[in-house]
Structure 1
Amino acid sequence: MFYREAGQFKISYQADQQIFPIRQDRVAMAVFLLVAFVAVPLLASPYWFTAILIPFLVFALAALGLNILTGYAGQLSLGTAAFMAVGAFSAYNLVLRLPWIPQIVSFLLAGVAAAAVGIAFGLPSLRIKGFYLAVATLAAQFFVVWALQKFPWFTNNSSSGVISAQEVNFFGISINTPMRNYLFVLCVVSVLALLAKNMVRSNTGRKWMAVRDMDVAAEVIGIPLMKTKLLAFAVSSFYCGVAGALYAFCYIGTVEPEAFNLDMSFRVLFMIIIGGVGSILGSFIGAAFIVLLPTLLSFVIPPLAELFHMSFNKASLTYIEFMIFGALIIFFLIVEPHGLARLWQIAKEKLRIWPFPH
């Protein structure tokens, strides 16, 4: 009743192919962005900015990059954290050694550096696929971390290997408060998400999905596999590289190899599995779920443990988080492989015909 396109006529191809063809979707997106850019900065506390909102946006961008590669192009990857590390260290060295470049440009160039590394480690995808490709990208994780620790130039000859990220500024405007960091990250993520949404609807996105569904048939109809696969690795690594730069500069404030470990790669992978593989919206839903779940458990588990007279400590909470993550992964792989985004899509389809039966 409230979510129907009846009466919304399209009189041009451009109107029919716009990102949000239904008026209700356009209004909902406008309201959401208004809340994110105006209401949240006015109402949220510094804790919400630093502990929840900024990591949610950063991980959503990283999950979006992995979703482009795995969800749309069908290429498995376990090296997301490695590409994020390349982006973080590239941004640090660009800001350090080329201070005349605007910092936002340094972040984008860091994404380009990550894209170059992604192409190099994406070359095995031309010969192998599936589990073997995942193992090849896993090698990237260990190699990148080893290289960052082995060559002191990347860390500016720091003895500890842990270096503080430079203060973020946007064309000379200092961004040294949680709210400004949040708005800066939100702007970058919004623009890149919009570009990704357009990209997957373009000729390039259709080529990715053709290769994902059946690469042999895609090659038969004239789609160049090498170019298509390597482009998917490049774009995915670019998004992960920018996410890594934002993670280091706007979230943790330090640039260190151990921050981008294998656990982070699996965490981003869990985000797209729970949120929805092959869905832009699923990347954001999965990131929100993974980021908010530990906070929710920290409020719920201690009172329940006290109610049932059970011993409880911080380590117990960590183990409970792992158990819940594992159970959720199994649940979504069995019950709804397309994740929470698919459940939202089903809800919208039901709203279109409500109150009539499906």
Structure 2
Amino acid sequence: MLYTESGQFSCRYAQDRRLFRLRQDRLGLYLLLLFAALGVPWLGNDYWLSAILIPFLVLSLAGLGLNLLSGYAGQLSLGSAAFMAVGAFTTYNLEVRVAELPLLLSLLLGGLLTALVALLFGLPSLRIKGFYLLASTLAAQFFIPWLLTRFSWFSNGNASGVISAPPLELFGQDFSTPVGRYLLTLGVVAALFWLANNLVRSALGRNWMAVRDMDTAAAVIGIGVLKSKLLAFAISGFYLGIAGALWAFTYLGTVEPQGFDLNRSFQVLFIVILGGLGSLLGNFLGAAFIVLFPLLLSNLAGLLPPGLIDSGQLENLQKMLFGALIILVLIKEPEGLARLWQGLRERARRWPLRS
């Protein structure tokens, strides 16, 4: 067998709650993080760092923010991009208007203010749920971009609402290069995923899952349903706010409120659905699918004879294939790509024995 649990026992609750209980899995994670921090900047070029890996990491973080709310707490939302916009514009204004404020502190404060905004839009969850809650959060998707465009103060006097990335300096080092922006994004995303892993395995995470499965039963056994729902909206908003700031400053460099439109919210939603609800790994898998599959289709289209399909039809065909593949994945495995990965791991644990 490739690897087994032989001799690896959990003697404490803390050990049993670890994300990776097997020594081989933990070693693999450490090696992956080491390669991502040292090997990727050395091997990757500017295109891969700026156009592939940074959006992949940021979208994974955005997917995590929505997954905490929908996958773990069971509260539906279509306002993800709006909360990302709040985080981006708040971080921008803190950097512009508060002199000498460290970049990481601006990100943290931007996430906290986004948490307050998300908490406000999460108040309807105390009385409604399901489709009606989805419609309620959709209001944020239309109101917040309009507000950011209507009042030019948010964009420091720019009437069009466009903002540009502030200096990306941290501990006296310049992170404006592609490698610097990648390492900054990687560090923030890794820290927040570690925090989320501990969060979902805490008492609050268990409360979220109880509310998701049956809120009436959760209330009967003494779980504060209303408190759990509001905390889910706030923490989800915190993650989405930081993801929005990273999307604006480490990936795009400049952004306008309409850059966080409804299409972006659907993109984050597809990441969660494809990756798997209630799965931390699923956010990475879903983001990889969203980022890499259109690139694969474009490269395959380049192999076709010139003039066979015009550019307009090619773009529509790519969208059709992309949508058809999403439907196929959901039919084949409704629990997402994370469940497929789990199945492969189980087979690897028994190999070469037959299941």
Shift of 1:31: 1.2
Shift of 1:21: 1.2
Aligned equivalent of 2:196:
196
**Within the alignment, does 1:319 sit opposite 2:322 as a pair?**
no
**Within the alignment, does 1:331 sit opposite 2:353 as a pair?**
no
Query: Which residues of 2 match residues 115-264 of structure 1 at below 5 A?
Result: 115-264=115-264
Aligned equivalent of 2:9:
9
**Within the alignment, does 1:48 sit opposite 2:44 as a pair?**
no
Q: Deviation per CA, 1:290-344: give whole Å up to 9, x if none.
A: 011121111111313x18x62231x334323321232133223322111110001
- Amino acid aligned to 2:50: T
Aligned equivalent of 1:294:
294
Shift of 1:101: 1.4
Deviates more, 1:18-27 or 1:105-114: 18-27
Aligned equivalent of 1:350:
347
- Amino acid aligned to 1:87: G
Aligned equivalent of 2:31:
31
Aligned equivalent of 2:57:
57
Decide whether the 8 Å contact of 2:90 with 2:110 is kept in 1. yes
Decide whether the 8 Å contact of 1:282 with 1:340 is kept in 2. yes
- Amino acid aligned to 1:257: P
Aligned equivalent of 2:88:
88
Decide whether the 8 Å contact of 2:88 with 2:244 is kept in 1. yes
- Amino acid aligned to 1:130: G
Matches of 1:317 and 1:62 in 2, distance apart?
29
Shift of 1:274: 1.0
Matches of 2:220 and 2:321 in 1, distance apart?
44
Shift of 1:99: 2.0
- Amino acid aligned to 2:149: Q
Decide whether the 8 Å contact of 2:15 with 2:21 is kept in 1. yes
Q: How many residues align?
A: 355
Give the secondary-structure state (helix, strand or coil) at the position aligned to 2:154: coil
Decide whether the 8 Å contact of 1:88 with 1:110 is kept in 2. yes
Shift of 1:78: 0.6
Q: How does the TM-score come out when normalised to structure 2?
A: 0.97
Decide whether the 8 Å contact of 1:49 with 1:178 is kept in 2. yes
Decide whether the 8 Å contact of 1:3 with 1:348 is kept in 2. no
Matches of 2:175 and 2:246 in 1, distance apart?
12
Shift of 1:11: 3.3
Matches of 1:160 and 1:148 in 2, distance apart?
10
- Amino acid aligned to 1:337: P
Matches of 1:175 and 1:217 in 2, distance apart?
49
- Amino acid aligned to 1:318: E
Q: Deviation per CA, 1:128-153: give whole Å up to 9, x if none.
A: 11111111111110010111011111
Give the secondary-structure state (helix, strand or coil) at the position aligned to 1:166: coil
Decide whether the 8 Å contact of 2:152 with 2:160 is kept in 1. no
Q: Deviation per CA, 1:244-289: give whole Å up to 9, x if none.
A: 0001111111131011011000011111111111100000110011
Matches of 2:218 and 2:54 in 1, distance apart?
39
- Amino acid aligned to 2:326: I
Matches of 2:310 and 2:27 in 1, distance apart?
46
Matches of 2:197 and 2:303 in 1, distance apart?
42
Matches of 2:17 and 2:157 in 1, distance apart?
52
Decide whether the 8 Å contact of 2:294 with 2:322 is kept in 1. no
Matches of 1:66 and 1:317 in 2, distance apart?
31
Shift of 1:348: 1.4
Give the secondary-structure state (helix, strand or coil) at the position aligned to 1:3: coil
Q: Deviation per CA, 1:210-241: give whole Å up to 9, x if none.
A: 11111111111111111000100111110000
Shift of 1:2: 1.4
Matches of 2:75 and 2:9 in 1, distance apart?
38
Identity within the alignment, %: 57
Decide whether the 8 Å contact of 2:160 with 2:256 is kept in 1. no
Matches of 1:325 and 1:136 in 2, distance apart?
29
Give the secondary-structure state (helix, strand or coil) at the position aligned to 2:18: coil
Decide whether the 8 Å contact of 1:115 with 1:234 is kept in 2. yes
Give the secondary-structure state (helix, strand or coil) at the position aligned to 1:154: helix
- Amino acid aligned to 2:246: L
- Amino acid aligned to 1:330: I
Aligned equivalent of 1:103:
103
Decide whether the 8 Å contact of 2:154 with 2:161 is kept in 1. no
Decide whether the 8 Å contact of 1:92 with 1:255 is kept in 2. no
Query: Which residues of 2 match residues 249-288 of structure 1 at below 5 A?
Result: 249-288=249-288
Give the secondary-structure state (helix, strand or coil) at the position aligned to 2:128: coil
